[in-house]
Structure 1
Amino acid sequence: MTRLAAVFAMLLSLTAPMVWAQETDMTEAVILDGRTADLAEFKWTHRPLIVFADSPYDPAFVRQMDLIKDDLDGLVERDVVVLVDTDPDARSALRQALHPRGFGFVLIGKDGGVKLRKPSPWTVREISRTIDKMPMRQQEIRDSR
């Protein structure tokens, strides 16, 4: 099974009302199942944005995912990968490490540190502003000039 097919099959297994994926070569934004994700694989290459909810039908979760899908280019530009965990009973490694309560999202920097926690949906623009203030992102902007 190719990597794209495996990711797509994993996304189809989610019971979330949304099912969406793009290329998984990590140059595009991807939405992955956070229940099986390992943050270590993203260290120094991507900024994980982990979206938690107790149900895939949580209105705040649905709103956050809509906001993310509305502006994927902003996330791609900032090397963000979205990890989704809507199953508190699974006791994923992400849940054990980050201890979410209901809906919320956590932004992890490329260095592996928690940079932002929010209990309500944010637009990609708001998330992008936070990322753009990070020293590593400032260096990326300078290097791209």
Structure 2
Amino acid sequence: MITRIFGIAALIALPGWAMATDATLPETLSAQSDEVTLEQFLWLKRPVVVFSDSPADPRFVEQMRYLAADVDGLTIRDVVVLTDTDPTGKSALREKLRPRGFMLALVDKDGQVKLRKPAPWTVREITRSIDKWPTRQQEIREELGKE
């Protein structure tokens, strides 16, 4: 499976996905690269997309280690991590985001790409960025209003 979907929070059941195991992140789901699109997560999750030309790329390995270090921070923000390590696969994610080598892309629930980075980011950096987005600000206001 070339593209993997790492369900950080409990994901809704999407047809065609099979459970798999991965030592890096919990609740791993796998899908064929042509089955994954950003539209599947529209208004449900915030995709964090990690591209590299190989799963052995040190930047990819470091990024996955960063993500696994703070799963709770990602869960709170409805993050789902999507990875693609096969540049020859021409997945829908690659067609849309057009990475060159390693790339980290942060996508909001509205489907807009908010940030692209050529180097790994810690969960703290990712969550600080997400917390500034209008959709996240609205979620925080709604959470505070319920208490």
**What's the TM-score once normalised by structure 1's chain length?**
0.81
State whether residues 105 and 118 of structure 1, in contact with CA within 8 Å, keep that contact through their aligned partners in structure 2. yes
Structure having the higher strand fraction is 2
What is the DSSP-based 3-state SS (H/G/I as helix, E as strand, rest coil) of the residue aligned with 2:120?
Answer: coil
Displacement after TM superposition at 1:33 (Å): 5.1
Aligned length: 128
Q: Percent of aligned pairs with the same residue?
A: 54
Q: Which runs of 5+ in 1 are unaligned?
A: 12-17, 24-29
Which amino acid counterpart does residue 22 of structure 1 have in structure 2?
P
Is the counterpart of residue 104 in structure 1 residue 97 in structure 2? no
SS at match of 2:18: helix
Q: How far off its partner does 1:34 sit? A: 7.6
- Distance apart, 1:135 and its partner CA: 0.7
C-alpha RMSD over aligned residues: 2.0
User: 1:31 and 1:118, CA in 2 relative to 1: closer, same or farther beyond 3 A?
Assistant: farther
Report what 1:95 is aligned to: 94
> Could you tell me which of 14, 20, 26 is aligned with 1:22?
26
Unaligned runs of 5+ in 2: 1-14
Shift of 1:38: 1.6
Contact 1:53 1:86 in 2 (8 A): yes
Q: Could you tell me whether the CA contact under 8 Å between 1:34 and 1:50 is conserved in 2?
A: no
Gap change, CA 1:81 and 1:141, over 3 Å in 2: same
TM-score w.r.t. the length of structure 2 is 0.80
